[in-house]
C-alpha cells in the first residue's frame, strides 16, 4: 500500500504549521526533527524553525515598543505610532510572502532520493572501469 503523504506534502505542511502558530510548529517540527529519519524533512523543519523564530522576535520587538509607547498619553497620535503600525503591517505581509514562497519551493523541489539513486547507478560503472584499468 502506498504511503499517504509524500515528502513534498510533509514539507509544505511543516511550512504551514510554522506560519499558523509557533505551538503547531513546535509539535510538528519537533516531531520531525526528533523522530524522522528523512534528512530533507529535518533540514526543512530546521529552516522553518529559524524563519519562525526571526518573525517571532520581530513581533516581540514591536509588542515591546507598543507597550512602552502606550505608557505615554500622546503615543497614539504621534508619528512614531503611525510608523510602528506601518512597519507591523509590512512585517505581516513579508511573513506571508516568505512562508508562501518557501513552502512553494519546498513543495516543488525535486526529490533528492531519486537523484541520488540515479547518481549511484552512474558511479558504479565508472568505478568498475577504474578497477579494470588498474
- Kindly list the domain boundaries of the chain, sorted by start residue: 7-133
Question: 124 pLDDT exceeds 90?
Answer: no
Backbone angles phi, psi at 93, to 5 degrees: -65, -40
Of the two residues 97 and 111, the one the predictor is more confident about is: 97
CB 44 within 8 A of CB 28: no
Q: How far apart are CA 61 and CA 103, in angstroms?
A: 25
Write down the number of H helices and E strands in the chain: 5, 0
Question: 115 pLDDT exceeds 50?
Answer: no
What pLDDT digit, counting tens, does each position of 38-95 carry? 899 999 999 999 999 999 999 999 999 988 888 888 888 888 889 999 999 999 999 9
Distances (CA, A) of 42 to 28, 34, 46, 114: 11, 8, 6, 18
Of the two residues 53 and 118, the one the predictor is more confident about is: 53
Amino acid at each position: 500500500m502506498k504511503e499517504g503523504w509524500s515528502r513534498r506534502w510533509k514539507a509544505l505542511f511543516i511550512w504551514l504549521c510554522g506560519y499558523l502558530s509557533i505551538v503547531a510548529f513546535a509539535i510538528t517540527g519537533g516531531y520531525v526533527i526528533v523522530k524522522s529519519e528523512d534528512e530533507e524533512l529535518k533540514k526543512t523543519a530546521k529552516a522553518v524553525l529559524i524563519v519562525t523564530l526571526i518573525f517571532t522576535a520581530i513581533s516581540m520587538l514591536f509588542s515591546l515598543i507598543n507597550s512602552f509607547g502606550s505608557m505615554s498619553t500622546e503615543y497614539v497620535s504621534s508619528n512614531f505610532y503611525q510608523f510602528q503600525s506601518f512597519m507591523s503591517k509590512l512585517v505581516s505581509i513579508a511573513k506571508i510572502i516568505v512562508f508562501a514562497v518557501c513552502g512553494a519551493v519546498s513543495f516543488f523541489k525535486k526529490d533528492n532520493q531519486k537523484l541520488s539513486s540515479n547518481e549511484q547507478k552512474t558511479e558504479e560503472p565508472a568505478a568498475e572501469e577504474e578497477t579494470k584499468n588498474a
